[in-house]
Amino acid sequence: MRGDRVEIVIDAGGEVRTYVIEATRNGRRVEIETGRGVVTVSEVTRSGTPVRTARFMATRILALVEHPAADQNIAREVPEPQQAGSSG
């Protein structure tokens, strides 16, 4: 879904780098595959054709964070916490 994105944080030998793969158009999605020590993150079309692909060594990945697209029907407000207190 457009707006889906995945952030990949890797150890680049003395520094930390962050890469972002995002579904850039309607109908596209981001898929993650793991195999043989390699993590593949791809933006794919509805039919499954990869548009962009990034491959990372699994041993170098510090974090892999998925950010789903925001649903327009869900309220994004955070309710205020109610405080436990004395009433009198």
Instruction: Let me know if residue 43 belongs to a domain.
Output: yes
Instruction: Let me know if residue 57 belongs to a domain.
Output: yes
Instruction: Let me know if residue 46 belongs to a domain.
Output: yes
Instruction: Let me know if residue 74 belongs to a domain.
Output: no
Instruction: Let me know if residue 38 belongs to a domain.
Output: yes
| DSSP bridge pairs for 5 | 22, 67
Q: Any long-range contacts for 68-75 (C-beta under 8 Å, 24+ apart)?
A: 68/1, 68/3, 68/4, 69/1, 69/2, 69/3, 69/4, 69/23, 70/3
Instruction: Let me know if residue 80 belongs to a domain.
Output: no
pLDDT digits (tens, 9 = 90+) for 24-76: 888 899 999 999 999 999 999 999 899 999 999 999 999 999 988 765 544 45
pLDDT band at 88 (very low <50, low <70, confident <90, very high): low
Instruction: Let me know if residue 39 belongs to a domain.
Output: yes
Range of the domain at 36: 5-67
Stated pTM of the model = 0.72
Q: 32-70: buried (b, 16+ CB within 10 Å) or exposed (e) per residue?
A: eeeeeeebebbbbeeeeeeeeeeebeeeeeeebeeeeee
Q: Tally the domains of the chain.
A: 1
Instruction: Let me know if residue 83 belongs to a domain.
Output: no
